[in-house]
Structure 1
Amino acid sequence: MSKRKLKEDSFTNQECISKVQRTLRERFCLQNPNGKLFGMELQYKHLLELLKRTAIHGESNSVLIIGPRGSGKTLLTCHVLKKLMEGKQVRDNTLQVHLNGLLQTNDKIALKEITRQLNLENVVGDKVFGSFAENLTFLLEALKRGDRAHSCPVLFILEEFDLFVHHKNQTLLYNLFDISQSAQTPIAVVGLTCRLDILELMEKRVKSRFSHRQIYLMNSFDFNKYLNICKEQLSLPPEFPEKSFTQKWNKNIQSLLEDPKVQGVLQNQFHHSKDLRSLFKLLMLASNSITVSHPYINASDLLESGKLCRMDSKANILHGLSVLEFCLIIAMKHLNDTYEEEPFNFQMVYNEYQKFVQRKAHTVYSFEKPVVMKAFEHLMHLELIKPVEGPSVCAQREYLLMKLLLDNSQIMDALQVYPNCPTDVKQWATSSVN
């Protein structure tokens, strides 16, 4: 009987842990419009009011949401659209078009995507239009229900807005802003960008038709607010099915965030970047350690996650190099120090390496030139070095100019933890430039 009960408890715990992981992953990995907005209450009200005027009152608008990457531009837009679409009348009568500058690389592709999202492929059919403007105008006219007062509002959400500015003649933007200023179909154009100089990139005719409404997003919260965000993101909601587990979990999170070591990790993350996506990455790594035998996050999990987040990927590649390849990296370091970051070629690196071999009189470090060349090419494949851009003067690979993509601190840090690194190589790396 006791064994059976133990099995049942184990099953319940396993089910509970999987629910916890699912809940946390949905928060950290998805742009969840059911989540909370942090420090964007005013911007939320402003954008919601603008889009309501278009969706309910038929008033055309245009606005730019400007902020650094990770500041919550997309999340803010998702929250506003979710709130706006709660009303049945708005949901039934308002159309949305989502474009992205990374995907719609020119106006022709963008127009096809608009047609697809508005389900107007059958309307357009085989008709041929003289210009992009005529095609776009026809598409919007096709949405009208009778007269202008009863047209169907359309919300255009343009992510990576600055990339649309680089389209030829900025035709798409010109026509969208032009329609938003006329008494045609009511539309709202919402552009999301991280470029502060976005208005300077617009042509005069485009800028004159833009409303110049701008919403700025900045992660302006302090460290105490940052801790509260951590707590809210890691805590389980009241509707979580296992009530007793929820209480224990939330109590554990409270004590965890009061730990000085944990606060130190979070403070480092806060000073490095206030981007909430980087915080969610840290918390996600910590939550990955949760298992049935280890059901709660502890301080060591967060400390380990902090190390993983701060880990230098290029320095990690150095740990897996052979001694010969590391010697070539050190030779390049000395050449950089001697010639003040000027490009070098393989022959220069080989000569520097040969000086080291002759000085130490060690046959153990001596390799034939083709072997050294192979090691040099391997470093190029690993992207630790790269050819200098521009036309090559000489086609011979020995004399192809290269640039080292590592700085001295990365090399020296990797050297300290390099497994079984020979003493001679360490001394050569730390020695002054010859």
Structure 2
Amino acid sequence: MSSTRTFIVVGGGLAGAKTAEALRAKDFDGSIILLSEEDHLPYERPPLSKEHFAGKKALADFIVHRGDWYRDHHVDLRLGTAATALDLAAHTVTLPDGSTLSYDKLALATGSRSRRPPISGSDAAGVHYLRTVDESDALIEAVGEHGRLVVIGAGWIGLEVGASARERGADVTLVEAAEVPLSGSIGPEIGTVFAELHREHGVHLHLAAKVEEILVEHGRATGVRLGDGTVLPADAVLVAVGAAPNIELAEQAGLDVDGGGVLVDAGLQSSDPDVVAVGDIAAHLHPRLGTRIRVEHWANALNQPAVAAATMLGHTAHYDNLPYFFTDQFDLGMEYVGYAPHDSYDRVIVRGDYATREFIAFWLDSGNRVLAGMNVNIWDVTDQIKQLVSSSAPVDPDRLADPAVPLVDVSG
């Protein structure tokens, strides 16, 4: 290393590892220190509720880099080491033993954690949360192949775990406060598709349901009691009611934050010019969408680091990728691209067949502009959907709904 500068990355997930990788790819030749609270090599998280939970992938299959990569690229990876405080004026990071590290530039990639609602019994043995590979392994062991799993929350994590556990032979029950799964993220129109999918595969759904308490005997969860008195026996309970961004370090240090994340500009720079934020915690000004957004998607953790690294190196860069995520549940695979919060769209247009679950759904605003699109069991159309979203041009809803009309010819 010829440079005397030190860049520190706080957070050992996909975003943190990719930030270190991007710095080296952009020829930064100073010191890089990567702090990871977990003892595992940095890894991707989608498999925790998908392939890993289904028994199709081991941890070694979804680590970001092998251990020798960090050695060969002179990245000082410190596993089992959390940052406990930041001093922006002194440019230091405090470690658990009280020692400090000095930095020239800092990247915060602290990710998010499972929300823990105030449910009676939620701290008992047998109650699980899912954010790490160790938590995934513990839940797999608790459920086994034919155990009874009750999942509180029918969001993406709850549905994916439910599908994976069902495919392993478990008896699965999903409990959701809303009347339709995913209504807060993609709306009730398409959320119904996922409800029907799970019912067809033997998953029990309790919708518009209130969890009164998690039942506990001898210190261990034995089931869930709903507000109407229904008791759902369980060998394991998963609480999957969303994630909370880990912004405490940033907030305590005095960076600009709001309840949803660390406020950053289009180049992912925070209110301190020597600090960037990347991944789940970054609430960034999106130059293409014209608004500030924060999304907890794998694609952000994968792609934002290149922009964060450029900003750390003093280059001009903007993160303008459209939000993207995917899921695989039973025989349904889908990709979603765009941004259509539940209060932003006017209607949903579907081209294709609900019954066979082969369709594309489009979220339109009142001016017939496409805000987002989701292709379900139809492939190689993501780029075309991106073009519709990016163009901001009105479309003809009838042509959009007609599978015989190419997506390039749906303009209004």
Q: TM-score, normalised by structure 2?
A: 0.29
Q: TM-score, normalised by structure 1?
A: 0.28
Relative to total residues, which structure has the larger strand share, 1 or 2? 2
Q: More relative contact order in 1 or in 2 (CA 8 Å, sep 6+)?
A: 1
User: Is the radius of gyration larger for structure 1 or structure 2?
Assistant: 1
